[in-house]
Amino acid sequence: MQSLIQQIISGIASGGVFASLALALVLIYNAMGLVNFAQGEMAMFATFIAFTLIDRGLSYWIALPVTLMIAFAGGVLIQRVVIRPVERAPVLTLVIITLGMATLVNGLAGFIWGYVPRSFPSPFSARTVNILGAVVSYQDMGVIAISAVVLLLIYLLLQRTTIGLTMRAAAHHPEASRLLGVRVSWMLALGWGLAAAVGAVSGIMVAPVLFLEPNMMQAIIIYAFAAAVLGGIESPLGAVVGGLIVGLTVNLAGAYLPFVGGDLELAVALAIIIGVLLVRPNGLFGRPTVRRV
């Protein structure tokens, strides 16, 4: 029972990480109908920037917002330089370009920081606390708290501010928005920046657990894919719920299903992706798409 509660709490913590990255995927999908295969690598790169800042003596709580701002600027820059020239290209082209970006960013991080795994500092103590008899680490609770705050902020930004309204309008009805004076292309860039920042949070949250190296996010991005697909790839709320479900499922399956164990947790994510796509391609919260002939 205690170990079950422990597994659930660490499942929610990983769920928060997956949810952040899945939300980043959803933001870009909503902006231009594209799954960004480089999202995980971009998050990894941002985490390395945070690592460098902290290494240079900055405190964690200053390095975090600075990194998020850099990530935001980087996201906007990528949209302006790489994506904008091919905005109207077929989705096949766009997917291949984001894959190229993933490879490029991965190699660049290898160039700059090397492939030796590094331990990443955590602001939360490694100590544990007893909740209902279960041993829970401050690390897990801290990750849950930060993920919750970030997701809430994004929700407020999208739903309660003018800029959020404009962004949603630009994504859903680009032509009409343009006629109403919205600078649609810049709104897309804003979406990329926001996605990069949210994704960076997931990287920074997971780095103390996984150790930081260029391939750190390779597994996490698969979990985030599973979360986004499960929630319905266009729904921000779906990404959060999907992230939590994937986090819990993967943790519990790894702990309690003998044939899954530690090494096939990733296969659970693959099974979720394929299962959802076959049974309910629109996910839990997505609207069915209507194809006009």
Q: Which stretches of the chain bind other proteins, using CB under 8 A?
A: 33-35, 37, 82, 85-86, 89, 91-93, 95-97, 99-108, 110-111, 114-115, 218-219, 222, 225-226, 229, 263-264, 266-267, 269-270, 273-274, 277-278, 281, 293
Q: Which is nearer to other proteins, 38 or 182 (CB)?
A: 38
Find the shortest distance in angstroms from Cβ 134 to other proteins: 29
With beta carbons less than 8 A apart as the criterion, state whether 260 and 254 touch.
yes
Q: Which is nearer to other proteins, 176 or 270 (CB)?
A: 270
Q: Which is nearer to other proteins, 25 or 150 (CB)?
A: 25
Q: Which is nearer to other proteins, 112 or 129 (CB)?
A: 112
Q: Which is nearer to other proteins, 179 or 279 (CB)?
A: 279
Find the shortest distance in angstroms from Cβ 154 to other proteins: 22
Find the shortest distance in angstroms from Cβ 8 to other proteins: 24
Find the shortest distance in angstroms from Cβ 51 to other proteins: 16
Distance CA 92, CA 32 (A): 13
Q: Which is nearer to other proteins, 210 or 266 (CB)?
A: 266
Find the shortest distance in angstroms from Cβ 125 to other proteins: 33
Q: Which is nearer to other proteins, 41 or 140 (CB)?
A: 41
Residue 130 structure tokens: 């007893």
* Long-range contact pairs involving 156-160 (C-beta distance under 8 Å, separation at least 24): 157/194, 158/236
The rounded Cα 95 to chain-centroid distance in angstroms is 17
Find the shortest distance in angstroms from Cβ 118 to other proteins: 14
Q: Which is nearer to other proteins, 140 or 265 (CB)?
A: 265
Burial of 159 (0-12, 13-18, 19+ CB in 10 A): exposed
Angstrom CA distances, 103 to 79, 83, 205, 221, 255, stand at 17, 16, 22, 14, 33
Angstrom CA distances, 208 to 54, 125, 133, 140, 169, stand at 13, 11, 25, 11, 38
Q: What is the phi-psi region of residue 126: left when phi exceeds 0, alpha when psi lies from -120 to 50, beta otherwise?
A: alpha
Residue 158 structure tokens: 């999208």
With beta carbons less than 8 A apart as the criterion, state whether 216 and 16 touch.
no
Find the shortest distance in angstroms from Cβ 86 to other proteins: 6
Distance CA 232, CA 205 (A): 24
Q: Which of helix, strand or coil describes residue 135?
A: strand
Find the shortest distance in angstroms from Cβ 93 to other proteins: 5
